[in-house]
């Protein structure tokens, strides 16, 4: 157990260093985020002056979803197959997937927070209960990261990775997205956290289920 934590730590540091050395990946994501938000601004807000809160919310989650698929889809393809084999001889597959989930969760969380600031800047911020909205963002980041990490691992096995990534992840992420939309809608209406305890606990348990399931299933994907 302790050995696995050690491995996760090392692999996590490796992910961070890789990202730090090739900054263009993160820069690319941020640029993607900024341009999508600005396109949304031009096509909604700039034309109609106002945008209904439901559209505001749905639009933001769709932007996040697309960015998540782009960001996490590459997490298994950016490293060569030979290096994958090298890791395979060194560490447990569980450590690989958990470190990826950890790293991708933090990445998604960062992107969501930067995103909500940029988005509120141009599109206005009709959120009533910001704390609850942030909770939804955190739960969303973890859920997206863990689901898409496993799906990314599956898609990386095939040749047409990017198509497969999109086709596999969209339907499988919808349940999570529906719960997130529901929770963030309550946040927009300014409903208190204590009244949304049901939604929060369902989302949290869904996150836990997906994380655990990824840990159990990933070793089978990885075994060549």
Partner 1 sequence: METLKKHYWKGAGMILLVYTMYMGFLGHVPRQPILNETVRNLYFHVTMWFSMIALLGVSVYHSIQYLRKSDPMHDLKSNAYVITGLVFATLGLLTGSIWAKFTWGDWWTNDPKLNSVAIGMLIYLAYGLVRSSLPDEQQKARISSVYNIFAFIIFMVLIWILPRMTDSLHPGNGGNPGFNSMDLDNRMRMVFYPAILGWMSLGFWYAQLRIRIRKIEVSLEEKEEA
Q: Which residues bind partner 1 (CB under 8 A)?
A: 150, 154, 157-160, 164, 167-168, 170-172, 174-175, 178-179, 182, 198-199, 202, 206, 209, 213, 217, 220-221, 223
**185-215 core/surface letters (b: 16 or more CB in 10 A; e: else):** bbbbeebeeeebeebbeebeebbeebbeebb
Beta carbon of residue 149, minimum distance to partner 1 (angstroms, whole number): 12
C-alpha separations of 27 from 22, 23, 99, 165, 181 in Å: 9, 6, 22, 22, 28
Instruction: Tell the smallest beta-carbon distance from residue 54 to partner 1 (Å).
Output: 14
Q: Give the shortest CB-221-to-partner 1 separation in angstroms.
A: 6
C-beta closer to partner 1: residue 42 or 178: 178
Cα–Cα distance measured from residue 3 to residue 19, given in angstroms and rounded to the nearest whole number: 24
Residue closer to partner 1 by CB (options 20, 220) is 220
CA distance linking residue 197 with residue 164, whole number of Å: 35
CB of 181 vs partner 1, minimal distance in Å: 11
Nearer to partner 1, 114 or 221 (CB): 221
Contacts of 118 by beta carbon, 8 Å cutoff, 6+ apart = 33, 34, 37
Which residue, 29 or 180, is less far from partner 1 as judged by CB? 180
- Please say which residue, 129 or 146, places its beta carbon nearer to partner 1: 146
List alpha helices for 74-196, DSSP H: 81-90, 93-123, 130-155, 161-188
Shortest separation between residue 185's beta carbon and partner 1, angstroms: 11
CB closer to partner 1, 39 vs 216: 216
CA–CA separation, 210 vs 142, rounded Å? 9
Q: Count Cα atoms within 13 angstroms, Cβ side, for 8.
A: 15
Q: How far is the CB of 117 from partner 1 (least distance, A)?
A: 30
Contacting residues for 25 by C-beta, under 8 A, at least 6 apart: 19, 74, 78
């Amino acid at each position: 157990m302790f050995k696995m934590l050690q491995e996760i730590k090392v692999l996590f540091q490796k992910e961070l260093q890789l990202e730090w050395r090739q900054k263009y990946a993160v820069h690319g994501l941020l640029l993607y985020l900024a341009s999508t938000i600005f396109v949304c601004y031009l096509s909604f807000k700039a034309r109609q002056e106002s945008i209904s809160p439901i559209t505001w919310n749905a639009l933001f989650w769709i932007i996040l979803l697309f960015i998540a698929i782009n960001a996490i889809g590459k997490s298994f393809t950016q490293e060569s197959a030979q290096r994958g084999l090298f890791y395979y001889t060194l560490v447990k597959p569980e450590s690989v997937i958990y470190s990826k989930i950890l790293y991708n969760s933090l990445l998604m969380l960062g992107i969501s927070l930067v995103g909500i600031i940029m988005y509120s800047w141009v599109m206005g911020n009709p959120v009533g209960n910001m704390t609850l909205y942030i909770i939804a963002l955190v739960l969303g980041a973890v859920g997206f990261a863990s689901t898409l990490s496993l799906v990314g691992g599956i898609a990386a096995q095939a040749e047409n990775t990017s198509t497969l990534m999109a086709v596999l992840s969209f339907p499988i992420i919808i349940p999570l997205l529906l719960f997130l939309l529901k929770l963030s809608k309550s946040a927009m209406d300014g409903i208190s956290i204590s009244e949304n305890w049901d939604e929060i606990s369902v989302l949290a348990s869904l996150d836990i289920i997906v994380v655990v399931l990824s840990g159990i299933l990933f070793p089978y994907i990885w075994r060549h």
